[in-house]
Structure formats: C-alpha cells, structure tokens
Structure 1
Amino acid sequence: MVTTEICVFTLLDTITLQDLLNPSKTPHSELLKTVRSQPGCQSLYWGVGIQDPTKLFWFIEWDHLTSHQLFQSLPSYPSFVSTAIALTNPSSPSPLTVLHYNLPTPLSHFPKSQKPYLEYFSLPTLPSSSTSLSETFESLQTAFSTFSPEGIPSTYSFAIDEGSENICLSLIGWKDKEQHAAFLKTDAFVNAEPKMREVAAGPPVAIHVDLQEWE
C-alpha cells in the first residue's frame, strides 16, 4: 500500500516561494531531488500555503513505509535533515512536522487536467472517535460527488505514526476558492461541521496549498 509522508515546514520569514524555486537562493530544489532519487519514492508534490506562505508542504508517496525507513537509515540522512531544518523558523512552536498516512486516494490519483485548489485539513480527535468521524467524512464525500458535474476529488485517513493515530487528515481538490465557499453553504457541510467539533481534541488546521510542478 502506498504510504504518503506529509511534511509541514514553518519557513523563516525571509524565505519566499521564489527563493524555494531558485537553487542559488536555497537548497530546496536539491532536497527535493534527493528525496525523488530514493528507491520506493513514487512521487513528490509540494507547495506553499496560500493564506500563510510561511507554510511549506511536501506530499511524498512511498511504495511502502519501509522505503522511507530505509532512507532514514542512510548515513547521509542526518545531513539531509539538518539542511531541511535550516529552512525553518526555530522560534515557531512547530518548525517541522512529519506524519504518515495510508490515504485511500493518494494525491497522485487526483485529476491532472487542472491544478486543484488543494485544501489541507488536519484535525486532532478524541480517542475512540474514528468511526464517528469516518462516517462524517464519508457523507461529505458523497456530497462532493454530486456537488459539481465532474465531482470533487478528496481523500482522508488517520495518521499511522505511533502516538499520532488520532490525527485525521483530509485533502480536498477544489476547483477554486469560489467552489469551496459555495460548498460551505450546503446542508451537507452545515450538518457535518458540528459532528467534527464534537470529536475534536483541539483546533483544526485548514489551509489551501499552492501546488507547484503539478502535472
């Protein structure tokens, strides 16, 4: 099963998207190249937050979790991590988070015809609430399938990392911000929102990602 590793960086305030794209400004491009060259890395998508451009997202799809673990076991891995950490803001409460998910529909399976206005939604949940939350997300996915003629691609899963199993992630490929805003007014969302609040163990993280190199 494909395992998606999601890395969320809080960048230094001085680093912009153009800096990330420019190899002479930051080592970001070289970091991506290193990950993509690893055995078992099937794809890597990345982008920055639209509402908060200090947030950098990596969506790495491994053929299996063991492939990522093999990368982590390499002698060169500590240097790779140090280089990545150097991009982050050390004063942030969360300079870098890394979690793994077995997403039923990996990001690489989203339609390639148009770059999605990707919503990243993460919610820490109460223990033993996975069944209830899964039912809520299933109802939303049903609503997505009929909201527009082409449907709205989406996926969700709970983290598989020890100690983080109650963190639920959803990725939703909106056409644009107007489509997302319109869906927030539907009965499906109005009914789902309080159900998500009931099982929340903390505030959600909801941000749209400006994906780069989408193809």
Structure 2
Amino acid sequence: MSVPVLAVAILPLVSGTDLTTGEGKRILEDTLKSLTSRPGCTAVHYGRQIEHPDKLQINIDWTSRQAHADWENDPNYGPFLKNLGTILAGPPNIYHLKIPASAPFSLPGAAPVTECLTFYFEPDHDEAAYTKSFDKFQEEAAKLDTGVTALTGGFGLQEQKHENLGKEGEEGPAKIFGGFIGWPTVEAHLKFRETPEFPGLIKYAREGVKGASVYHVAFEKA
C-alpha cells in the first residue's frame, strides 16, 4: 500500500533573483507547471523563507515516494533541473516527510504565514514515543487562544545532518521531524512565544530534540 509523502525542496536562489517578473517569473512558472502536471502530484505550495529570502521553498504532496521517484527518472527531469538551475546558487536540499493524511500540509499551508520547524534527533530515536508527545502538544495547543489556524508534522524518510549530532565539530547523521503551524502573522507567533503558557506547551514538542530550526513562509498554492 502506497503512503502519501510531502517532498520539501529548499532552493538557494542567486542573490537578487526576482520571481515576480522577467526570466525569474518564467522559470518559476515552468517549474510549478511541470510539478502540478505530474501523475501522483496532488498539490504544490511555494514561497520564499521570510527570514532567508534567498531561499525558495516548494512543498509537493505526492501520492507516494515512488510517484516522486518516477518523476526523477523521467526523461524530462534533466531539462527541468537544467532550467531551474539557472536561478539557483547551489544544490537544492530535498527530503520527504510522512505527513498524516488526516492533517495534510495544505491546512497550515493555507494560513497567511506558516511556521516551518525542523527538529533533529538521534538516528535511532523512537518515532512512536515522539509522535505521542507531539500529539500532546497539539492537544494542549488547541486549548489555548494562540491564533494558530492548523498544524501538522511527520518524520522524514531520509537522514539529514546536524552539528549537534556529530563529533569534534563535524555534522552527524540525524533523524528529522518536520512540523508546520499556520499563523495569522509572524508577529502573532513571536508574541505567543513571550506568554507564560509557551514554556509549558513547547516542552511537548521539544521532547528528545537535539537541534532545531524555525522560520516562516507565506505559501502560495500553485
């Protein structure tokens, strides 16, 4: 039985790239059209990271990891990458998350601003145990007046690297959990972090976490 996955592609753009006009706009539109027309692609959301505007993030919902692999093995994939590569400053970082079908990315992704968080764990970390903790985080968050519109998350299929899990300053292998939380504004998120309720809530999301990254994207749906 195939399991839906969310492919997260983080693309480092050439500094100063304008995606709203000219060649940059054409390449972005070509990229999105190629993705949305693929068999097995059910949704595409994209946007620049607010804190790092030279990074474009594209989240692609696939019916399965195999559906994405079929695209990577398609004869048109090479020209697709070549076209996209003309606006990239380096190689993209692409990974896949197991997002629950009951809470698809499209829910927090539809918010005016989406908090994107990545938690890094030891490679052998117990996924079931953390999932229970994250479920508790969601349960407790629902009781508070946070302004959150929706949230979801899931573990990655591929290992990533993080400096907190290596030896002698080197990056080491890490299991990742990607989470997405919809907010009305970035300011609403930052304001909630200053409330007395925040420490008691975030402890559930940070259980066993060895490293983390957090940023925001105002996603658009292709």
Q: Write out aligned runs for 1:51-70 (5 A).
A: 51-70=51-70
Determine the C-alpha separation between the residues in 1 that align with 2:107 and 2:203: 30
Task: Determine whether 1:177 maps to 2:186.
Answer: yes
Q: Secondary structure at the match of 1:24?
A: helix
Q: Would you say the 8 A contact 1:23–1:29 is kept in 2?
A: no
Aligned to 2:127: 130
Aligned to 1:139: 136
Instruction: Number of aligned residue pairs: give it.
Output: 203
Determine the C-alpha separation between the residues in 2 that align with 1:86 and 1:140: 41
Task: Determine whether 1:45 maps to 2:45.
Answer: yes
Q: Would you say the 8 A contact 1:43–1:60 is kept in 2?
A: yes
Displacement of 1:52 in angstroms is: 1.4
Q: Which runs of 4+ in 1 moved over 4 A?
A: 192-198
How large is the RMSD of aligned CA atoms in angstroms? 2.6
Aligned to 2:145: 148
Aligned to 1:159: 156
Q: Would you say the 8 A contact 1:42–1:61 is kept in 2?
A: yes
Q: State the percentage of identical aligned residues.
A: 22
Determine the C-alpha separation between the residues in 2 that align with 1:111 and 1:72: 25
Change in 2 beyond 3 A, CA 1:108/1:54: same
Letter in 2 for 1:99: Y
The Cα offsets for residues 40-67 of structure 1, whole Å up to 9 and x where unpaired, read as 1111010001111111110111122221
Q: Secondary structure at the match of 2:143?
A: helix
Q: Would you say the 8 A contact 2:108–2:180 is kept in 1?
A: no
| More deviation, 69-78/146-155 | 146-155
Letter in 2 for 1:102: K
Task: Determine whether 1:191 maps to 2:197.
Answer: no
Aligned to 1:106: 104
| More deviation, 178-187/34-43 | 178-187
Unaligned runs of 5+ in 2: 161-173
Determine the C-alpha separation between the residues in 1 that align with 2:78 and 2:205: 38
Q: Would you say the 8 A contact 1:21–1:29 is kept in 2?
A: no
Change in 2 beyond 3 A, CA 1:67/1:147: same
- TM score, norm. by length of structure 2: 0.79
Aligned to 1:73: 73
Letter in 1 for 2:12: T
Displacement of 1:28 in angstroms is: 1.4
Determine the C-alpha separation between the residues in 1 that align with 2:55 and 2:189: 20
Letter in 2 for 1:148: D
